[in-house]
A and B are shown apart, each in its own frame.
Chain A
Amino acid sequence: MKKTAIAILVFSILYLVLGTSIHAQDFDAPKAYADYQYQLSVYQKAYSEFQEAKSFYQGNPTLQLKSEARRKTLKMLKERDNLIVVYLTAIRMHIWESKGFDENQKNAIYAKIDPEIEWYQNHIKNYLDSDEPVDLFNKSDESKSRLETNTTPIINEGLFDISLSQEIGIRLAHQQIFTDLKKYIDDQVAVGKLKIDPFNRWINDTDAVLQQLQKNEDSAVVKIQTLYSQNFGVGATYRNSVEILSSSISPLSQLNSYLTEMLISIQNQMK
């Protein structure tokens, strides 16, 4: 009784002290990624237990070991479907937080991801405690088929979209700085504080880099859409699209250097 009273007292004090500092945690991309990592560990544990039970049964095929293997299979299959749900959610959250895509572009990929999430959420409910091993195998095949035919291309497009949106965001941010600097140069040239040379040539060079970046983005988008028009080579299509995006990193660095150089030159002339 005394211990209970002391425990209540301690928890009351902790509640009073900490209660005000506890805030609701927002769901964002890092949280979604942490959820994915956690669910991955849950699945891996369930898979390991399933493999163990399967080995025991195959080594000594008794009814009890078969029943145990069936139970572990059921648990693993549910966690596997749930892992895909959590993984797709993490991809969705990363696209949602990316800066380069507008609402239409984001909604276009959500329209593909969301039905997949829904499919696996419903499929988890199909697993019944009373399912025999053969039922579980059949339902597992349903997940396999869905993953290969529908989900994998969408996962690949989702991953591609995260990178594409990040690149577009960086390019647009540079473009805004470029616009500001061009306006500043024009204003200062008009009042005679800056000379147009060499900025006129540098502006043309910077424009060329921006155009190259946009061209890369466009060709990568065209490439990734072939994921859905091909019956094979989904992985190769994704890799080729990512390679096009990767080729934009060097021009992005160049763009950054050009603008930094332009800025320093302006500052030097203004001294």
Chain B
Amino acid sequence: MINPNDNSNINPNPQESTSLPVEPPVSEPTGWKLILSKAKLVASIELGKFKNSKFYTNKKIFLPVSISFGLIFLILILGLLFGKRNVAQVALETPKPTPTAQNTSQATTSRDILSESQIKLNSLKNEINNLDIKQSRLQPPSLDFDIKF
């Protein structure tokens, strides 16, 4: 049994005791460590404020908004990574044979005229066959002017 009035085991002068460990002196952080510790402190305070805010506590608002922003950022990042880029086409200089004068220009032009005429005539034939002189699609609408009652 411990007697509450028994003070025999209590050291009246604790400073005289040699059994207690002596704590080493705490050194003040300096430089980037100081900045880091301050940042941690500020972050923990702000996080605490945020967690207590109405926006965070109301999950019906917080979840959809955060998911929406997350997806938009994801799309933007994917777009930047895989989107089409206007890559300039660089034409590589390839060695070409020295051009030689050939007396075929007249024949080439003539062939072009004949083949072009053939294509045009075929197209015109289709136009003639599809001509709708009466403009049946564009005939005036039937309107009733006998409206009196």
B64 touches A69 (CB 8 A): no
Task: State the Cβ distance, B101 to closest chain A Cβ, in Å.
Answer: 19
Task: State the Cβ distance, B109 to closest chain A Cβ, in Å.
Answer: 9
A159 touches B64 (CB 8 A): no
| A1-31 near B? 1/0 per residue, CB < 8 Å | 1101110110011001000000000000000
Interface residues on B, range: 35 or more
A249 to B127, CA, bound (A): 11
Segment among B6-14, B67-75, B87-95 that sits at the interface with chain A: B67-75
A50 touches B131 (CB 8 A): no
Task: State the Cβ distance, A112 to closest chain B Cβ, in Å.
Answer: 15
Task: State the Cβ distance, B97 to closest chain A Cβ, in Å.
Answer: 29
Task: State the Cβ distance, B18 to closest chain A Cβ, in Å.
Answer: 67
Chain B CB within 10 A, most for which of A2, A73, A147: A2
Task: State the Cβ distance, A82 to closest chain B Cβ, in Å.
Answer: 11
Task: State whether the Cβ of B120 lies closer than 8 Å to any Cβ in chain A.
Answer: yes
Interface residues on A, range: 35 or more
Segment among B22-30, B33-41, B140-148 that sits at the interface with chain A: B140-148
B131 touches A167 (CB 8 A): yes
Task: State whether the Cβ of A163 lies closer than 8 Å to any Cβ in chain B.
Answer: yes
Chain A CB within 10 A, most for which of B60, B137, B145: B145
Segment among A101-109, A124-132, A222-230, A252-260 that sits at the interface with chain B: A252-260
Contacts of B121 in A (CB 8 A): 174, 177, 256, 259-260, 263
| B55-92 near A? 1/0 per residue, CB < 8 Å | 00000110111011001100100010000000000000
Task: State the Cβ distance, A265 to closest chain B Cβ, in Å.
Answer: 11
Contacts of A159 in B (CB 8 A): 135, 138-139
A54 to B147, CA, bound (A): 9
A181 touches B117 (CB 8 A): yes
Task: State whether the Cβ of B133 lies closer than 8 Å to any Cβ in chain A.
Answer: yes
A267 touches B138 (CB 8 A): no
A246 touches B133 (CB 8 A): yes
B113 touches A133 (CB 8 A): no
A6 to B64, CA, bound (A): 7
From B71, B114, B124, B141, contact of A263 by CB (8 A) = B114
A162-B138, A263-B118 as given contacts; A133 in contact with B64, CB under 8 Å: no
Task: State whether the Cβ of B32 lies closer than 8 Å to any Cβ in chain A.
Answer: no
A163 touches B133 (CB 8 A): yes
From B125, B132, B140, B141, contact of A43 by CB (8 A) = B141
Contacts of B110 in A (CB 8 A): 184, 187-188, 270
Task: State the Cβ distance, B10 to closest chain A Cβ, in Å.
Answer: 63
Task: State whether the Cβ of B134 lies closer than 8 Å to any Cβ in chain A.
Answer: yes
**Quick one: closest B residue to A173, CB to CB?**
B124
B interface list, Cβ under 8 A from A? 60-61, 63-65, 67-68, 71-72, 75, 79, 110, 113-114, 117-118, 120-121, 124-125, 127-128, 131-135, 137-141, 143-145, 147-149
Q: What are 23 A-B residue pairs whose CB atoms fall within 8 Å in the complex?
A: A5-B67, A5-B68, A9-B67, A9-B71, A12-B68, A57-B149, A69-B149, A76-B147, A83-B141, A90-B138, A91-B138, A140-B147, A141-B145, A180-B113, A181-B117, A184-B110, A187-B110, A242-B134, A249-B133, A253-B125, A256-B124, A256-B128, A270-B110
Sample of 15 further A-B pairs with CB below 8 A, known A9-B67, A57-B149, A137-B147: A1-B61, A1-B64, A2-B63, A4-B64, A5-B68, A9-B72, A43-B141, A77-B147, A83-B141, A91-B138, A143-B145, A162-B135, A170-B127, A181-B113, A242-B133
